[in-house]
Amino acid sequence: MLVDNGVNGDSRVQKAARSAAAAGWEVILLGKAPAGGGRSWRLGDAEVRLLPMPEPLAKRRHEFRRAWLRAPLAYPPTGIGAHRTQAVKAWRADLRFRRATLTVAARDGARPSPLAWPTLRFEEKLSGLVRRWVSLRNRELSRARRNRKLAGPWDRAYTLFWQQVQGDGAWRRLEPGLWDYELAYGATVDELQPDLIHANDFRMLGVAARAKVRAAVTGRRIAVVWDAHEYLPGVQPWRDNARWLPGNTAHEREFVPYADAAMTVSGGLADLLRTEHQLAERPAVVLNAPALDELPAAGDEPAPDIRALCGLGPDEPLLVYSGVAAARRGLDVMVEALPQLPEAHAAFVVNRPDSAYVKSLRRKAEELGVAGRVHVLPYVPHHQVVPFLSGAQVGVIPIHHWPNHEIALITKFFEYSHARLPLVVSDVKTMSETVRQTGQGEVFTAEDVADFVRAVREVLADPARYRAAYDRAGLLEGWTWEAQAEVLDGVYARLLPDAPARSVPDGDPAPGAAPTSVGVGA
């Protein structure tokens, strides 16, 4: 399996690797190492290897040049600015030490050199001037970088030109940093000689496709599975420039034809991908559902009590949001609704409790006089998520309308469900349709505080009615990773029908698949 991150934190990839290995496939998961050397470990029966990945091509040529005309006083973008800043800090720290030394010596009756104090005062004034000069040059460097974001008319014209000249091959000019992934992963993939490559998301698709073609030259066949985690044209660009999205979508379009099968995270996205790329068959749907070993079991270490962490009694209404905190996730509506929900509290279980966005939520709560009813909590270990969330009364997903939000059933949806929480979700298409069909919660108009208040009041008035939806036979059982793993295993087995027999650890064949044993190269 191939993934463009460090594996830790990517629950879908981890579950896929573990379940495929448990089904008897030989799985090697290749990821991207953080700064420094590579490392490896075991993930169940799967092997994880993180590869060192230099990224010089991710930087554009202008990022290596000085902006002589726009910012003549700026430091060159070589790192010298950070070095000078640290050097001045060290100098001033030494001056503070010298002053303290002279002060103590004078108090003890010692007589320092006549030049000691004048020299110290002169250096202190000089270091202050140098510090201001260094700060000015660093500010100029930051300003020069802010003003060159590849988003102006020239950059749009550049993008259009290469799109017209090279078509889908334009990514080579628009997003050359994609080659860094090929140069980091390609040789290792070739060395492993996999029978199947599971390429997670858009960056890894090109790496897998090129490996497939190189193998074909030598007479070997590699099957490629493309696992699309999101709808790329609907993604907010990860970099603030006009080339990122056109470059990455062109790269995806060029290499999709090399995939022997596709899978994705929801039925809506499967239909969209089939239309977008004119696929011969609809991608298999593998939901981001929790694994059974992530759900509470006898003997597990007890999860923290979310109500105790918030300082709440058993009957005070608690609304919970769990996940990434960002403006497009719509968390503002939960804070703005609290003045109209006088008994309710809101808990935000987020990845970065001290982020600028979370701080803005705290400020808004103070302005509205509800700061005492807003609680920010860090993540808990994955196996404690469901029991931890179950202490709340309502699970909230207030995401805004955005192309990828419309077609996804996100991980927290399933986590809330296994915690048997009544849901309040915004009216994004797939999630709202599911909630209305199951009866597990209420839907409100995204970004509409009044409608959010209405939905919360309805749920709090009769929570048992919404919890009863989870008693439907097969509902929660189908929303487990074990059910999704059968789909994944079936895709592998269909692509490798002639693979030798697999040995499954418990001695039983994997469900839904012929017994096979094969290297699944990441």
b/e 237-275 (16+ beta carbons within 10 angstroms → b): eebebbbbbbbbbbbbbbbbebbbbbbbbbbbbbebbbe
Low-confidence ranges of the chain (pLDDT < 70): 36, 56, 58-65, 145-152, 240, 294-300, 501-522
Closest CA to 414 of 323, 284, 302, 511: 323
80-107 helix and 116-146 helix, angle to the nearest 10 degrees: 160
Query: What CA–CA distance (Å, rounded) separates 180 from 53?
Result: 7
pLDDT of residue 64: 61
Residue with tokens 């897998």: 208
8 A C-beta contact, residue 315 and residue 396: no
Side-chain-facing half-sphere of 415: CA atoms under 13 Å: 25
Query: What CA–CA distance (Å, rounded) separates 431 from 435?
Result: 6
The dihedral of CA 114, 115, 120, 121: what is its sign? positive
In 115-231, which residue ranges form alpha helices assigned H by DSSP?
116-146, 153-166, 171-174, 178-192, 201-217
pLDDT of residue 298: 52
Return all residues near 213 (Cβ < 8 A) that are at least 6 apart: 258
pLDDT of residue 81: 86
8 A C-beta contact, residue 371 and residue 335: no
Residue 64, classified by CB atoms within 10 Å of its CB into exposed (0-12), middle (13-18) or buried (19+), is: exposed
pLDDT of residue 513: 36
Using DSSP, state whether 419 is helix, strand or coil: coil
pLDDT in tens, 78-112: 888 889 999 999 999 999 999 999 999 888 888 88
Q: Give the length of the chain.
A: 522
Partners of 321 in beta bridges: 348
Residue 83, phi-psi category: left (phi > 0), alpha (psi -120 to 50), beta (remainder):
alpha
Q: How far from 354 is each of 43, 350, 361, 482, CA to CA, in Å? A: 31, 9, 11, 35
